Amino acid sequence: MKANWRLPSRGKHGHLAVKLAVSILLVGLAFRLLYSRSEELPPGVGNPVAERSEVARPAESDDVSPQFDSTGAEDENAGDDECDLFSGDWIPDRSGPVYTNQSCPLIESHQNCMGNGRPDNGYLYWRWKPRNCELPQFNGRRFLELMRNKAWALIGDSISRNHVQSLLCMLSTVEQPIHVFHDEEYKSRGWRFPSYNFNISVIWTPFLVKAAIFEDFNGVSTSPVELHLDKLDTNWTSLYPNLDYMIISTGKWFLKTAIYYENGRAVGCHNCKKEDISEKGFEFAYRRTLHNVVNFIAKSKHKGLIFFRTSTPDHFENGEWHNGGTCRRTAPVKEGEIELKDLNRILRDIELSEYEKASAVAAKNGVNLKLLDFTKLLLTRPDGHPGPYREFQPFAKDQNAKVQNDCLHWCLPGPIDTWNDVIMEIVASAS
């Protein structure tokens, strides 16, 4: 089963017209060159490749060094009638983001890369270009009109929290949201756009199932996570019936040391090193959990639009988050120049497998369950993470200071903003 959301291409006839015009131009140029005594281009005829490259260079950004060209990319699938929004290239974009860390007060400190002193800004001047169509830029006013009198929730872990900040910042260019609720630790929060009676929330549930977590703010654990694989977390299931739109996801938390329970008894663990509990591995828990989650959705007869989002790739190099891993790149890389890590691949394979099995059940029950697979889109953006700039001015006192890097979450503004472009195109097409 093809695990991508596709839309009809808007540019097919345009491509044919462009091809015809280019063909006529080339024939005329060849004829002129044939009778010219000079080996140089005729006066007034420039180098079209050089001109296109110059136009594509973002203004006032010396940090941008495009590493690939999208020339010909639109023609790769020109014969297709559909547009795959999740396959494409990052191309230079001089316009930059629609908001800044100064214009949006909703960015949490760990994602405020520019505010924390990140010295380069080239990572801000790229846009995602699907290979067989145009992806319109996010239109905040149109989105809010579509969401009038609706309720939306992003359900999952800190990547969902990262995403909701991005969406709120883009919508705040139209209207500032009002903060209406939060839990004790401000991990689950809600906002309202009063002019549109639109409510949006982020629901903190990193496992999607019932879990007892024993760790501090820095992720230091005093005991293994106690994970009840057969009990969905009521933090999100209690809200589920009243939501019109939602994005559900999980991921990296399943790599933590944990003990797994079903029917109230321990059935295994991951890295717990207990003689009386068998080692099952995180794959066991992840598959069981996602099976229960997506089947709950597929059998729910819910009438809203539900997105299941795959987990996001990290870009730690020369180590991981806990042992000195870094992410120092300042521009996108070409597709194929960076590989999905084994752990990320395992998580994604399980996600796609469980989604595929549940999607048939969902369709039978009239449940509108869609997949958001942003893996390709983000894999080639190792430049978009906070890195050491998760903290304010990390090298102010010592240029050689050893600081913990964040190569999992995303700078705001940054590549994660493109998620909203894609989501809006899907929502608008379904409306």
Catalytic residues: 158, 406, 409
CA distance 361 to 404: 44
Output the CA–CA distances (angstroms, integers) from residue 326 to 321, 322, 379, 413, in the order listed: 8, 10, 16, 20
| Nearest CA among 264, 184, 277, 290 for reference residue 224 | 277
Question: Exposed e or buried b for every residue in 152-185, given b needs 16+ CB within 10 A?
Answer: bbbbbbbbbbbbbbbbbbbbbebeebeeeeeeee
Strand 126-130 versus strand 88-92 pairing type: antiparallel
Q: Which run of H or E residues covers position 90?
A: strand 88-92
CA distance 49 to 400: 42
- Beta-bridged to residue 203, according to DSSP, are 155
One-letter identity of residue 77: N
Q: Which run of H or E residues covers position 232?
A: strand 225-232
- Beta-bridged to residue 189, according to DSSP, are 182, 202
Residue listed under structure tokens 């006192």: 397
Asked whether the beta carbons of 97 and 169 are under 8 A apart, the reply is: no
